[in-house]
Each structure stands twice: as structure tokens, then as C-alpha cells.
């Protein structure tokens, strides 16, 4: 990224404050609309990509679609935009049916804004022309373009060509372009994944503030759990074409509905036990179980629910130091490795002899050997 | 880092979706038009009242066939060697003046083969520069260029750029990591070339050699001037009094061209190419003591292929002009005899280029955006159109318009000429159009849709501006080929429609050499300008 670009990226944020009244033109039409997906199924050449997916996004809410590659999250987003045609199900925006048994509203008439993973800015048009592309009334064009560029803090770049901008600036122009026609919903398809780490954080932060202050209904796709948790009011996790769970980040983290989700969302130690009563005995000592099971089970124990003290019972295999905390992997005498999050000040080194114990609020258990175990 | 994989898995639609019926229909209709000349040749051959087997096995058939194959194999082999060698020298060695060589080495492309042949021949005749210089030095040089040797020399010199351009582009773009890894794994430079570089460039060499082969079998002017009777000569000679023979031979020529294309395709499909294109400068080999030898060789080739014909033409032109000025013998032409053919040449080739792009665009969309059986079929038909020699296209169009009653009014009209050009050269625009279409990301179109733009607006505000450079390059290639085309123009052009190629041909046949030279210089000048703009500057597009 160029020196100039760097300065631009930093200088952007303050301008946001005064510019929030983007909806001043016709308020009743622009009140944020809710988006509902009902029993949606999508096929590609006979291969099922989405199966009976239902999801409701409240007006003004930010929902993340999270999932591993190939889970169908991008397809769901593109179906909302009308870029894919589901063969079954319905999509409604506010009280308007976008897709249904006899309805298909073309993407260009949906009033949905979308930002793609790679910059899809038109390379032959200037930044200003790009932003103005979706505006049709001559008299509002100039003002709305200026307003939208100001929102993302890039007013002075209106005459530049996209190719001369940094990656972060390009994505911000893409956001401005999507917002300029005042869409009722904004869709973001992995918008930050093509940016490098530092830039990703600052652009993400800035877009987050913008979305919150505009109060626009937003759905975004990501494969990055951290990003989903940071930006999403709620997160919908997709797995193999189905919605595995929808909930707030805390719900997903603390009450995953199955074993796969427990390991996909955040780090988890899975401790095998022969039976899981309220007060269960495990390799790391007694653990409180919130969902007792009679019979063989696996307990989901987050790394921060464990603690280490000097003693016996385990050997430190290695330490990952993160600054704000550290992750210690301990090989228990039973032969299992567990990961433990510790304070950064607690210093352990390789091959230290340690004792591991449970200190969390209670673990959930999943039965072992049942077919519905893996989603 | 794992992101590209995610994308691929999440968007299985890219490039697969079902094409719109209108697009399929349009592409099929265009393909049907492209199939007319070839189809007519087939039909005429099948319905001819002759003993096909006897005709095919007669010496009158086998002799020109044998000469054609002989010449085509010789020319494509030597052009492949020459083109690859020059490409390696200009991209991978420390040859001095590399930038200069890179500009001039592909330039012999500007000579139509018959102009090149005429330049060589006229340089050697009395009055020509070689003959006169030798005479001044006391030799009575009686060098004659003709037959297989003459045709081979001329065609090789003017077709090696077809190999040079793709191979040089490929060599320059080959990621150096490949070779560096091979070196680190223990191979010596020579072995690296054999095991790594050569396998990576073979498909480019083969593609170039194929073009040379097709050019040679369909060449009309150069072999005629060299008095070397190949199939095109026999077809041309027999077209009036023995149409059945003419069409049977045309069919033979067609079959030969298609056979070679099919072979090249099966060979090319086997090679795995590194898809990575590198922007780093390619690895270089120091020439060391071989440097003077390399310089001599490259100077010799460029001197012979580029400068010798230019000097010979300039000499004749200057001679004629001086003679005209001092009143000894007036030139048999005036300004209008230069301006009219030049203007005709430019506008007819512009029209052909525009028509070719218009015809290729729907097909390019079908091929680049969708994978369908229709697409494969259409592609094959269009590429086959390129393989059909211009003479055969012309022959079939002439007799088709002559015999097909509702189309008689088209005989000898400009639309038929443009149609002949488009069928013959359309494929050249197809590849660049395809690249142009695929450079517009589907996502860009999606973005425009979500901003409320309908199909029409999206095409004109997003697709077309983005494709413009690629389309212009394709159109330029068609234009260049059209200007240099001789046999189809000779046969199909309306009587009295004078183009530079036709005028050069007729003045040479009348042995008005100074006039030939002046017209040839104009043609070569225009085509040099176009070549420079389209081919040399964007050579990487042809890899």
C-alpha cells in the first residue's frame, strides 16, 4: 500500500459523525426493512447446495453468515441478492416478496446493495462515477455521490481511477457505491478477506461504525469466526447447506447445539467420559455438566475454563504467547492433549510438570455414537 | 491464504450456468454461415460427376499434393526452429541491443508473402539492386530464385514470426521459480531447459508451427511467383474449365488443413502448462563466447527477412520515380492510382474487422461465460473456417452465388467479399474476443445489476468499455490479415474494385516493377504501423 493510501485510511473516521443523515431524502421508504428467508433450497446441476434454509433478519440488524468453505453461505447471500435462483422457498424484504413460487424480482430491481470480496469497482470509471453508477436522477446524482463518499471518508478521491487506490480504499469505495442508491439491505461477501491483516482490522472497524450509525439491515458472509463475532449482532452458522445454529455470539460460544459447532466456533477441548452426570469426573478432575447425559459422552471444555498450577498430572508440550494471554498445550498422563488459556504473566515453559483443573461455569455434553452428533 | 479455494467451492456457478436461448441461437446462426463455404466444397465434391478415386490417385492430383505437403512440412519445421531460437535469444540471453531486436524480429510479419517474394525476385532481376550491384562489381550475376527452394526460403522468412511471437511471450512469462527450483534440485542449465523450459513452451511452438503450416498450404501468391505448383495453383488454374477437379482438390486441401489442426489439438491437450504468469524478469543465460555468433545470426535473419525486401522495393520505387522526374519513362500511374487502392484497402479491411468482431462477440460470450456442447460445436466450425484457405473460401462463394438462384445478385459484390474475409479471418478475432469477455469478471456484471442497471446499460457501460482494448486488438489482427490477403480478393472482389494487394499483383504480372514497388511500399507501411500497434506492443496477448 502506498504512503498516500495509508494516510487516507487513517484520516477517514472522524468525518462519519456529521454525515449520518443519509436517509434524509424519503424517510418512510428508507426505514430499515427486515429480510426473511423461508425454507430456501438451491441446486447446482443436480447437486444440492442449500437445503431448506430459513433465516430472519430484523430491521437494522447485522447478521453474519459463518461457515467453512463450501457450506453454501455465499450461495445464500447471492440468492438474497437475486444472483442465484433457488428452486424452492421464499425471500421477503419488508412486506415485499422478492422470491416465491411465482415471483422472481430481478436483482436490479431489488434495492439491495452488495459489496463483493474482491473490489468489483468498474476500473474504467472514476471513483465518483463508480459511486454515481446506481443513481438515476440527474439532480440528486452529484450530491448523493458526494455524500456517500464522505460517509467513507474518501471525498477527495472522487476523480481518481480505482486502480490507483489501495485495497482498503477500494473496499470503502465499494461500500459507498452500494450505499449511494439507498438500499434497504446491504450484503457483504467476505468484504475484508482480500486485505492484509492490519488494514483488515482498521477497515473492518470503520465499516462497523458506519453500519451501526446508519442502522442499515446488513447480512455478511465470512469464514472467519472472529470477524463474525465482532460484527454480527447475531451469527448464523451454515454447515453442508443447512443452518446449524443461529444466535448471538455468546449463545453460539456457550451453548453450541452440537459437537461440530462446538469445535467450529472457538477452540474447544473435547473430553471423553463414560457417563456425564451433573458432577462429572474427568481427566482434569471434577467438571460441572449443565446438560447431563447417562452414557458415553464428550464434554466441551473451552481453554479458558481450565487452569494450570504447578503440580503433577501433565507435561507442558508447548506455549503460544499472544501478549494479552497465552495458550498452553498440556499432555495429560492419560495421553490426551488439552489446550489451556492462561494469563500472560503466568509463565510456563516446555516440559514443565503441571496440574490442570476445571474452573469454568459448567460444560455441556454431547452423547457419543449417535448419528445426529455431527450436525 | 485458503481463500481462493473457499471462493471456488462457494461459487460453483462461475462459467457454468445455462446460456440464454437467444445467445445459443445467435451463435448457431453465425456458425451456420461460417459453415457455408466448407459445406459447399463438400457438397460439390460429393455430387461431382467424376471418378473420385481415379482423380485422387492421378498424378495430376498427387503431384501438387506432394509438393504442398513437402513445402508445408519444410517451412513449418524451419520456421519453428528459427522462431524458437530467436525467441530464446531475445528473451533469455544477454544479447546486446535486446530491445531493438525485440521490435524488429517480429516485423517481417508486415510483408504479405507475395510481396516478399516479388521483392526478392525483382531484386535479383536486371534492374534490381542485387543484380546491379553485382554488375557494378564486375559479376554478371544470374541468380534465379524459384521452385521448392525459392518458395521455402520466402515463406520461412515471412512466417517465422508466427512462432516467434507466442514462444517469446511464453518464455518471458514463465515463472522463474520453476527454473530456480530445478537448479536447486541439482539440474545444470542445459538440463533445466530440456526438462523444464522446453515442455512449457512446446504448446506455443506447436500452435505457431500450425499457423505456419496453414499459411503455407493456403499460400497462393508466393508459390505462384516461385513457379512452384502447389494445390492452390492447380485449383486456381482448373477453376474455370474443370470445376469438378477444382472442387475435389479444394476438398483435399481442406481435409489436409483440418487433419493438421486435429493433430495439433490432440498433441496440445496432453501437455500440462504452468498457469502462473510471472511479472519478474525471466532468468537469463550469459552467451559468453557465443555472443558474436548469435549477433551475426540474428542480424542475418533480420537483414534478409526485413531489410532486404524493403531495400529492393525502395530501390525499384526510387528508380521509377527518378525516371519519371527526369522524363525518361513516365510512371504508368498517377496519384489517384495510389490513393484509390489505399483508401479501398483501408475501408474494406475496417469493415471486415468490424463485421468479424460483431460476429465473434456472441460466440465469445457463449464460450467464455458458459460451458456447453453448442459452444464447442460453434468454436470448431469457426476455427475450421480459419483453416479453409482463402482461395477455397473464394472459390466456393463464387460458385455458390453463381448457382444458388436467390443469391445471384450477390455475385461479385462487396458483401460477399466481406463475408469471405470474415469467414476466413474471424477466428483470429475469436480468441482475443474470448479473452476480452473473460477479462470482465462476472462479479462486475453482478455489481452493476445490483446497482439497478438493466442488460442493455450493463453491456454498454461496463462490458464494452472493459473489452474495448481486447476487441480492438482482435479487430486489428483481422484488419491486418485482410489487407494482406490476395487470392480471395482477386477472385471475389467486384470488377473494378482496386485494393493494394490486387494492384500490386497485377502490376507485377505486367512486369511494371517500379509501380509494384511503390504500391508495395504503401501496403507494407500501413501494415507495419498496424503490426506495431497491435502485435508487437501487445505480444503477450498471443501467448
Instruction: List beta partners, residue A186.
Output: A113, A218
Q: How close B452 comes to chain A (CA, Å)?
A: 4
B321 in Cβ contact with B391 (< 8 Å) = no
Considering only CB atoms, which chain A residues are within 8 Å of B9? 69-70
Contact across the interface for B448 and A122, Cβ inside 8 Å: yes
Task: Please give the mean pLDDT across all residues of chain A.
Answer: 86
Chain B CA closest to residue A106: B449
B61-67: long-range pairs with CB below 8 Å, 24+: B61/B234, B61/B245, B61/B248, B61/B249, B61/B252, B63/B229, B64/B229, B64/B230, B64/B231, B64/B233, B64/B234, B64/B249, B65/B231, B65/B252, B65/B256, B67/B148, B67/B228, B67/B229, B67/B230
More confident position, B411 or B151:
B151
| DSSP secondary structure of B65-124 | HHHHHHHHHHHHHHHHHHHHHHHHHHHHB--TTHHHHHHHTTGGGGS-HHHHHHHHHHHH
pLDDT of residue B204: 85
How many residues are there in chain A? 375
More confident position, A295 or A32:
A295
pLDDT tens-place string over residues B301-330: 999 999 989 988 888 888 888 877 777 777
Q: Does B443 touch chain A (CB under 8 A)?
A: yes
Name the least confident of A116-130, B8-22, B277-291.
B8-22
Q: Mean pLDDT throughout B287-295?
A: 88
In the predicted structure, residue A21 carries a pLDDT above the cut 70? no
Q: Where residue A36 falls among pLDDT bands split at 50, 70, 90?
A: very high
Q: Where residue B274 falls among pLDDT bands split at 50, 70, 90?
A: low
Chain A CA closest to residue B441: A120
Q: Mean pLDDT throughout A240-260?
A: 93
pLDDT of residue B537: 63
Contact across the interface for A120 and B11, Cβ inside 8 Å: no
pLDDT of residue B270: 61
More confident position, A7 or B154:
B154
Contact across the interface for B10 and A70, Cβ inside 8 Å: yes
- Alpha-carbon gap, residue B387 to B260, rounded angstroms: 9
Q: Where residue A108 falls among pLDDT bands split at 50, 70, 90?
A: confident
Q: Mean pLDDT throughout B99-111?
A: 88
In the predicted structure, residue B179 carries a pLDDT above the cut 90? no
In the predicted structure, residue B271 carries a pLDDT above the cut 60? no
pLDDT tens-place string over residues A314-373: 999 999 998 889 999 999 998 999 999 998 887 889 989 999 999 988 899 999 875 544
Q: How close A74 comes to chain B (CA, Å)?
A: 6
Chain A CA closest to residue B466: A124
In the predicted structure, residue A109 carries a pLDDT above the cut 50? yes
Chain A CA closest to residue B453: A108
pLDDT tens-place string over residues A259-303: 999 999 989 999 999 988 988 989 898 999 999 988 899 999 999
Q: Does A83 touch chain B (CB under 8 A)?
A: yes
Contact across the interface for B13 and A122, Cβ inside 8 Å: no
Considering only CB atoms, which chain A residues are within 8 Å of B1? none
pLDDT of residue B381: 85
More confident position, B168 or B542:
B168
Q: Mean pLDDT throughout B158-169?
A: 90
Give the nearest partner residue to B447 out of A73, A84, A116, using CB atoms.
A116
Q: What is the ipTM of this complex?
A: 0.76
More confident position, A19 or B217:
B217
Q: What is the pTM of this model?
A: 0.76
pLDDT of residue B536: 60
More confident position, A180 or B537:
A180
What is the CA angle B118-B122-B126, rounded to 5?
165
In the predicted structure, residue A130 carries a pLDDT above the cut 90? yes
- Alpha-carbon gap, residue A176 to A110, rounded angstroms: 18
- Report how many Cβ contacts below 8 Å link chain A to chain B: 94
Q: A313: closest CA among A286, A334, A338? A: A334
In the predicted structure, residue B279 carries a pLDDT above the cut 80? no
Phi, then psi, of A232 in degrees rounded to 5: -85, 130
pLDDT tens-place string over residues B366-405: 888 887 788 888 888 888 777 788 888 888 888 887 776 6
% of residues, chain B, pLDDT over 90: 20
Chain A CA closest to residue B449: A108
Q: Does B140 touch chain A (CB under 8 A)?
A: no
Considering only CB atoms, which chain A residues are within 8 Å of B439? none
Q: Does A124 touch chain B (CB under 8 A)?
A: yes
Q: Mean pLDDT throughout B479-492?
A: 88
pLDDT of residue B206: 87
pLDDT of residue B17: 62
In the predicted structure, residue B158 carries a pLDDT above the cut 90? yes
Residue A25 CA, chain-centre distance (Å), reads 31
Considering only CB atoms, which chain B residues are within 8 Å of A82? 449
Q: B86: closest CA among B312, B269, B304, B309? A: B304
Give the nearest partner residue to A124 out of B11, B450, B465, using CB atoms.
B465
Considering only CB atoms, which chain B residues are within 8 Å of A173? none
Contact across the interface for A120 and B451, Cβ inside 8 Å: no
In the predicted structure, residue B14 carries a pLDDT above the cut 50? no
pLDDT of residue B288: 82
Query: How many CB atoms are located within 10 Å of the residue B398 CB?
Result: 18
Q: Does B137 touch chain A (CB under 8 A)?
A: no
In the predicted structure, residue A7 carries a pLDDT above the cut 80? no
Contact across the interface for B3 and A112, Cβ inside 8 Å: no
pLDDT of residue B273: 58
Q: Is residue B362 helix, strand or coil?
A: helix
Q: Does B450 touch chain A (CB under 8 A)?
A: yes
A123 in Cβ contact with A142 (< 8 Å) = no
Best to test chain B binding among A76, A116, A192, A224 (most B CBs inside 10 Å): A116
Q: Where residue A29 falls among pLDDT bands split at 50, 70, 90?
A: low
Considering only CB atoms, which chain B residues are within 8 Å of A117? 3, 7
Q: Where residue B297 falls among pLDDT bands split at 50, 70, 90?
A: very high
Considering only CB atoms, which chain B residues are within 8 Å of A83? 446, 449-450
B120 in Cβ contact with B311 (< 8 Å) = no
Contact across the interface for B6 and A223, Cβ inside 8 Å: yes
Interface of A with B in 167-206 (CB under 8 A): 174, 177-178, 181, 190, 193-194
In chain B the domains, ranked by start, together with CATH numbers, are 21-50+334-511 (1.10.3720.10), 61-330 (1.10.3720.10)
Q: Mean pLDDT throughout A221-230?
A: 92
| Residue at grid coordinates 457417563 | A275
Considering only CB atoms, which chain A residues are within 8 Å of B441? 118, 120
pLDDT of residue B276: 57
Contact across the interface for B446 and A107, Cβ inside 8 Å: yes
B452, B454, B459, B463: CA torsion to nearest 10: 30
In the predicted structure, residue B541 carries a pLDDT above the cut 50? no
Give the nearest partner residue to B450 out of A107, A136, A194, using CB atoms.
A107
In the predicted structure, residue B23 carries a pLDDT above the cut 60? yes
Q: Mean pLDDT throughout A306-316?
A: 91
Q: Does B1 touch chain A (CB under 8 A)?
A: no
Give the nearest partner residue to B449 out of A71, A108, A123, using CB atoms.
A108
% of residues, chain A, pLDDT over 90: 58
pLDDT of residue A370: 57
Q: How close A284 comes to chain B (CA, Å)?
A: 35
- Which range among B82-91, B239-248, B508-517 has the greatest average pLDDT? B82-91
- Which range among A21-35, B73-87, B439-453 has the greatest average pLDDT? B73-87
% of residues, chain B, pLDDT over 70: 91
Considering only CB atoms, which chain B residues are within 8 Å of A120? 441, 443-444, 446-447
In the predicted structure, residue A4 carries a pLDDT above the cut 60? no
Contact across the interface for A120 and B441, Cβ inside 8 Å: yes
Amino acid at each position: 500500500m502506498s504512503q498516500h493510501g495509508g494516510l487516507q485510511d487513517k484520516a477517514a473516521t472522524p468525518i462519519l459523525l456529521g454525515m449520518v443523515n443519509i436517509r434524509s431524502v424519503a424517510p418512510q421508504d428508507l426505514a430499515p426493512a427486515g429480510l426473511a428467508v423461508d425454507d430456501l433450497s438451491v441446486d447446482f446441476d443436480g447437486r444440492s447446495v442449500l437445503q431448506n434454509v430459513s433465516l430472519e433478519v430484523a430491521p437494522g440488524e447485522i447478521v453474519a453468515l459463518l461457515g467453512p468453505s463450501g457450506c453454501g453461505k455465499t450461495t445464500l447471500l447471492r440468492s438474497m441478492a437475486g444472483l442465484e435462483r433457488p428452486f424452492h422457498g421464499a425471500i421477503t424484504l419488508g412486506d415485499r416478496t422478492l422470491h416465491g413460487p411465482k415471483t422472481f424480482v430481478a436483482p436490479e430491481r431489488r434495492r439491495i446493495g452488495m459489496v463483493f470480496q474482491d473490489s468489483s469497482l468498474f476500473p474504467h470509471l472514476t471513483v465518483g462515477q463508480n459511486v454515481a453508477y446506481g443513481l438515476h436522477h440527474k439532480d440528486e446524482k452529484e450530491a448523493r455521490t458526494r455524500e456517500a463518499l464522505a460517509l467513507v471518508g474518501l471525498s477527495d478521491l472522487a476523480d481518481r481511477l480505482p486502480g490507483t487506490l489501495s485495497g482498503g480504499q477500494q473496499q470503502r469505495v465499494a461500500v459507498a457505491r452500494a450505499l449511494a442508491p439507498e438500499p434497504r439491505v446491504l450484503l457483504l461477501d467476505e468484504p475484508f478477506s482480500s486485505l492484509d491483516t492490519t488494514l483488515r482490522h482498521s477497515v473492518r472497524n470503520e465499516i462497523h461504525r458506519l453500519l451501526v450509525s446508519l442502522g442499515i439491515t446488513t447480512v455478511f458472509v465470512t469464514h472467519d469466526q472472529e470477524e463474525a463475532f465482532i460484527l454480527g449482532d447475531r451469527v448464523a452458522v451454515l454447515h453442508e447447506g443447512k443452518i446449524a445454529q443461529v444466535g448471538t455470539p455468546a449463545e453460539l460460544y456457550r451453548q453450541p447445539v452440537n459437537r461440530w459447532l462446538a469445535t467450529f466456533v472457538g477452540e474447544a477441548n473435547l473430553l471423553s467420559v463414560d457417563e456425564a452426570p451433573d458432577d462429572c469426573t474427568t481427566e482434569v478432575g471434577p467438571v460441572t455438566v449443565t446438560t447431563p447425559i447417562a452414557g458415553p459422552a464428550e464434554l466441551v471444555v473451552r481453554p479458558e475454563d481450565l487452569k494450570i498450577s504447578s503440580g503433577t498430572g501433565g507435561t507442558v508440550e508447548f506455549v503460544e504467547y499472544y501478549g494479552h494471554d497465552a495458550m498452553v498445550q498440556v499432555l495429560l498422563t492419560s495421553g490426551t492433549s488439552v489446550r489451556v488459556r492462561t494469563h500472560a504473566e503466568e509463565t510456563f515453559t516446555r516440559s514443565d510438570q503441571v496440574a490442570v483443573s476445571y474452573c469454568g461455569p459448567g460444560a455441556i455434553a454431547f452423547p457419543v455414537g449417535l448419528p445426529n452428533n455431527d450436525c | 491464504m485458503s481463500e481462493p479455494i473457499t471462493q471456488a467451492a462457494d461459487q460453483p456457478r462461475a462459467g457454468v450456468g445455462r446460456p440464454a436461448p437467444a445467445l445459443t441461437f445467435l451463435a448457431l446462426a453465425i456458425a451456420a454461415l461460417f459453415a457455408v463455404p466448407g459445406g459447399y466444397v463438400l457438397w460439390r465434391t460429393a455430387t461431382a460427376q467424376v471418378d473420385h478415386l481415379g482423380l485422387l490417385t492421378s498424378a495430376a492430383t498427387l503431384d501438387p499434393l506432394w509438393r504442398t505437403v513437402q513445402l508445408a512440412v519444410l517451412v513449418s519445421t524451419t520456421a519453428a526452429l528459427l522462431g524458437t531460437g530467436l525467441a530464446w535469444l531475445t528473451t533469455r540471453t544477454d544479447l546486446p541491443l535486446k530491445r531493438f531486436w525485440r521490435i524488429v524480429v517480429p516485423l517481417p510479419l508486415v510483408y504479405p508473402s507475395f510481396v516478399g517474394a516479388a521483392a526478392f525476385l525483382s531484386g535479383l532481376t536486371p534492374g534490381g539492386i542485387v543484380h546491379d550491384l553485382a554488375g557494378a562489381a564486375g559479376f554478371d550475376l544470374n541468380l534465379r530464385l524459384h521452385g521448392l527452394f525459392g518458395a521455402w526460403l520466402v515463406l520461412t522468412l515471412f512466417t517465422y514470426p508466427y512462432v516467434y511471437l507466442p514462444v517469446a511471450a511464453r518464455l518471458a512469462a514463465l515463472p522463474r521459480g520453476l527454473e530456480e527450483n530445478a537448479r536447486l534440485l541439482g539440474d545444470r542449465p542445459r538440463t533445466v531447459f530440456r526438462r523444464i523450459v522446453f515442455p512449457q513452451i512446446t504448446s506455443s511452438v506447436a500452435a505457431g508451427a500450425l499457423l505456419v503450416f496453414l499459411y503455407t498450404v493456403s499460400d497462393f501468391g508466393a508459390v505462384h511467383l516461385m513457379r512452384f505448383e502447389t494445390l492452390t495453383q492447380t485449383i486456381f488454374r482448373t477453376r474455370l474449365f474443370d470445376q469438378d477437379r477444382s472442387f475435389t482438390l479444394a476438398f483435399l486441401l481442406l481435409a489436409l488443413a483440418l487433419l493438421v489442426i486435429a493433430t495439433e489439438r490432440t498433441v496440445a491437450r496432453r501437455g500440462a502448462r504452468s498457469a502462473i504468469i510471472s511479472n519478474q524478469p525471466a532468468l537469463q543465460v550469459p552467451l559468453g563466447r557465443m555472443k558474436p555468433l548469435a549477433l551475426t545470426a540474428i542480424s542475418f535473419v533480420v537483414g534478409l527477412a526485413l531489410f532486404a525486401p524493403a531495400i529492393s522495393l525502395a530501390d525499384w520505387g526510387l528508380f521509377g520515380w527518378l525516371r519519371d522526374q527526369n522524363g525518361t519513362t513516365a510512371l504508368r500511374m498517377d496519384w489517384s492510382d495510389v490513393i484509390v487502392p489505399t483508401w479501398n484497402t483501408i475501408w474494406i479491411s475496417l469493415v471486415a474487422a468490424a463485421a468479424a468482431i460483431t460476429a465473434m462477440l456472441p460466440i465469445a460470450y457463449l464460450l467464455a461465460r458458459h460451458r456447453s456442447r453448442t459452444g464447442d460445436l460453434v468454436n470448431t466450425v469457426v476455427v475450421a473456417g480459419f483453416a479453409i484457405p482463402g482461395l477455397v473460401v473464394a472459390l466456393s462463394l463464387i460458385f455458390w452465388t453463381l448457382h444458388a438462384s436467390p443469391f445471384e445478385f450477390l455475385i461479385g459484390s462487396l458483401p460477399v467479399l466481406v463475408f469471405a474475409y470474415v469467414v476466413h479471418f474471424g477466428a483470429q478475432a475469436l480468441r482475443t474476443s474470448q479473452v476480452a469477455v473473460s477479462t470482465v469478471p462476472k462479479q462486475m456484471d453482478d455489481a452493476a445489476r445490483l446497482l439497478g442497471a438493466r442488460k442493455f446499460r450493463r453491456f454498454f457501460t461496463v462490458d464494452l468499455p472493459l473489452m474495448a482494448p481486447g476487441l480492438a486488438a482482435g479487430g486489428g489482427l483481422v484488419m491486418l490479415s485482410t489487407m494482406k490477403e490476395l487470392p480471395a480478393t482477386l477472385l471475389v472482389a467486384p470488377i473494378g474494385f482496386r485494393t493494394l494487394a490486387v494492384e500490386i499483383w497485377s502490376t507485377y504480372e505486367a512486369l511494371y516493377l517500379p509501380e509494384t514497388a511503390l504500391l508495395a511500399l504503401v501496403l507494407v507501411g500501413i501494415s507495419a504501423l498496424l503490426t506495431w500497434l497491435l502485435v508487437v506492443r501487445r505480444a503477450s496477448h498471443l501467448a
